[in-house]
Amino acid sequence: MRKSFGAKPMLYPMPVLIIGTYDENGVANAMNAAWGGISESTEISICVDDEHKTIANVLKRGAFTVSIADKENVIAADYVGVVSGNKEPNKIAKCGWTPVKSELVDAPYFEELPMTLECELISFTEETCRLVGRIVNVSADERILGEDGKISLEKFSPITYDPVHHTYRTIGDVVGKAFSDGLQLK
Cβ nearer to a second copy, comparing 21 with 160: 160
Query: How many of the chain's residues bind a second copy (CB under 8 A)?
Result: 93
**Which one of 18-26, 54-62, 173-181 is the stretch in contact with a second copy (CB under 8 A)?**
173-181
Angle at the Cα of 38 (from 32 to 42), degrees rounded to 5?
A: 120
Binding a second copy (rule: CB under 8 A), the pick from 18, 128, 133, 155 is: 128
Site string for a second copy, 131-160 (x = CB under 8 A): ---xxxxxxxxx--x---xxx-x--xxxxx
- Does 5 participate in binding a second copy (rule CB under 8 A)? yes
- Of the candidates 20, 15, 117, the one whose C-alpha atom is nearest the C-alpha of residue 70 is 15
What are phi and psi for residue 108, nearest 5 degrees? -95, 150
Say if CB 134 and CB 119 are below 8 A apart.
yes
- Does 36 participate in binding a second copy (rule CB under 8 A)? yes
Cβ nearer to a second copy, comparing 56 with 81: 81
The identity of residue 105, as a single letter, is V
CA torsion, points 97, 11, 117, 125, in degrees to nearest 10?
A: -100
Distances (CA, A) of 19 to 44, 60, 85, 165: 11, 15, 12, 23
Q: How far is the CB of 25 from a second copy (least distance, A)?
A: 23
Cβ nearer to a second copy, comparing 4 with 25: 4
Binding a second copy (rule: CB under 8 A), the pick from 23, 27, 45, 56 is: 45
- Does 101 participate in binding a second copy (rule CB under 8 A)? no
- Does 166 participate in binding a second copy (rule CB under 8 A)? yes
Binding a second copy (rule: CB under 8 A), the pick from 50, 71, 84, 101 is: 71
What are phi and psi for residue 117, nearest 5 degrees? -100, 125
